[in-house]
């Protein structure tokens, strides 16, 4: 039995890329670290907040790669003189990705109290109405 995707619906023309994005997102089984929030801060503004306790700003990198926001964290090497009797604070590298829609841009990022805030804005698309004459080809 073949799998039917939403992009195969006859009314959705040219959405193959969106279908591939959904499939890629489903396969990217993130383990839940670090935890994050996504909030809408206005009609066209969003904020992603990641809990990155223990990471310094220089341990984090934020990039936009082919319409994907990628946040990576890597802590410096451990001080070998420290002896832990209990270690409950996660200190591992991570990569967290978010797919950005067309027109969504990263406005900035800041870090406070162990939380990394990434602000996103969506440009308002301009409404374009174009008359198509019958019998003319472009």
CATH architecture classification, 34-122: Sandwich (2.60)
Closest CA to 111 of 69, 55, 68: 55
Q: What are the extents of the domains in the chain? A: 1-30, 34-122
Q: pLDDT 10s digit of each residue in the chain, 138 long?
A: 556 666 677 777 777 777 776 676 665 555 788 999 999 999 999 999 999 988 999 999 999 988 889 999 997 766 678 888 888 876 688 999 998 988 899 999 999 999 999 999 998 878 889 888 898 676
Cα separation, 41 vs 118, whole angstroms: 12
pTM surpassing 0.85? no
d(CA 133, CA 55): 59
Comparing CA positions, the residue from 30, 11, 52, 43 lying closest to residue 97 is 30
């Amino acid at each position: 039995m073949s799998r039917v995707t939403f992009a195969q619906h006859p009314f959705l023309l040219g959405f193959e890329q969106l279908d591939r994005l959904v499939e890629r997102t489903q396969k990217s089984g993130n383990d839940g670290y670090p935890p994050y929030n996504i909030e809408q801060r206005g009609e066209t503004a969003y904020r992603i907040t990641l809990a990155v306790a223990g990471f310094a700003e220089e341990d984090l990198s934020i990039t936009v790669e082919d319409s994907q926001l990628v946040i990576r964290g890597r802590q410096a090497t451990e001080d070998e003189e420290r002896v832990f009797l209990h270690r409950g604070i996660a200190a591992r590298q991570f990569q967290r990705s978010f797919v950005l829609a067309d027109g969504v841009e990263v406005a900035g990022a800041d870090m406070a109290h162990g939380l990394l805030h990434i602000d996103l804005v969506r440009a308002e698309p301009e409404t374009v109405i174009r008359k198509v004459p019958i019998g003319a080809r472009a």
